[in-house]
Chains A and B, each alone.
Chain A
Amino acid sequence: MIQKKKKSTFFNLAVAIVLLLVFLMLSFSNQKVKNLFFSLTEAPKSAILNVGDFFSSGFKIVFSLKDIIKENSELKEKNRDLIQKTIKLEDIKKENDLLRSQLSLKDRSEFNLLETKIISFDPNNLSDFVTINRGEADGVRKDMPVILPGNILLGKVFDVYPNYAKVMLITDNNNKVNVKSFFQKEEDRKNYSGVLNGYFGKSLFMDFIEKRTLVFQGDMIVTSGLDGTYPANLIVGYVDIIEDKDDAVFKQAYLTPSFLPISSNLAFVILDY
């Protein structure tokens, strides 16, 4: 019995020592080890993600058929509005191009984008990260903004490995973004701005909204570009719940992020803007 106990203590001690040594070793080559494991597991993860997407999209279609019909008619209406707007904007663009050429200003067009794929998600609920299959070798650097197709803000690069990078999503509590409202139709009310960060359950919390401004449910929120990390006018989300307490200095709002649900694994790193 005593011998058995001694054996068990010895085993525990051996495990602890091995663990300590492994940690010490890994802390020196953390980046390389992680990069190696990401490359080893990229194929099975991509396969699982693709199979999962296939099934989930199938289920979604069956269960949301009623919503799809409703959404379709709403989109048709929106499309009509957008066609009108496009015609107007086309004229403004022509005028703007002409003025820019007269003033010899540089073209302020699109961003310099790097196409990438989301290969995995952070395996815990307390932090919101995704891994992308582009890294230092592709020119990805820390704090570079990452977007989804349609200029939808996903987050910023948090950690860079030789061939992979970790992206901190905007729904993470540690990610702060300077934002402003964007009215899709011409409105009498004043634009408002604020600072947002991630909130419980994959939503967003917007703070420091000027008290006298009018905030409505469904308002589109975009980046303001003031923080220096994200370029202006990237779509962030839509106002869901508004909080206007009498004793508070600012208004607050809870937002539904636009990037959710992540249906495609395609993303872009903004290398330059």
Chain B
Amino acid sequence: MLCEIADLIADVPAAGGLASRCQSYIRENAGQPNIVIREALYRGERYPNVSPELVAYMESAYQFYKELVRFGGFYLHASAVVLDGKAYLFSGFPGAGKSTHTRHWQEEFGEDAALIINDDKPALRRIDGVWYAYGTPWCGKSGINANQKAPVAGVCFLVKAKHNKIRRLNVFEAMQRVMSQTIYKFQSADTLDRMLSHLERFLQEIPVYEMENLPDADAVRLSHSTMSRESGENVL
């Protein structure tokens, strides 16, 4: 089935529950696909004791995001919330409290104003000099996503703590954290080099923070006030 995902036409196999996940992305008669996801290439043997649905989900995500590198983008393991037309990405290791934090944004600003466009793997693409975060069907267990895009205001890596404290990361710290939450393992050096050039540009253009935080409303006000205030060139 043809879908429009991250402003790209993707041919996605309907099997394994993807038809329902992709519902709001389906574009019949969309024309030639930019990306073709092949069910025959799913590596089921990599996931013993995993349901066929989960294999289809993970492997279609892998193929889509690997191909995304050819189109000026990559994904970040993050929960992405859009407020006032800007996307705020909260990333970190599993259990860092990404989804909890964006849920708290919704409580603070209202569910209509703060929209979670992707709760797990938003696509990032640079188009005409602007980095956009996109909702995609690959959005994690919660299934929360919206077929929307918004310019990226910033990325914040979350660390659980007994206090709330945020700081801007330098490019090296940001690089290490972003790379720990995306894919950079490819078959070819050519794809790796494309990915690295996207990453380098992203780090130059998008502010990246780390917030030690409690799961509370103060943390929301701190991340929002800091990330909505600053933008532009990253600090070296």
A-B interaction = no
Residues of chain A whose beta carbon lies under 8 Å from any beta carbon of chain B:
none
Residues of chain B whose beta carbon lies under 8 Å from any beta carbon of chain A:
none
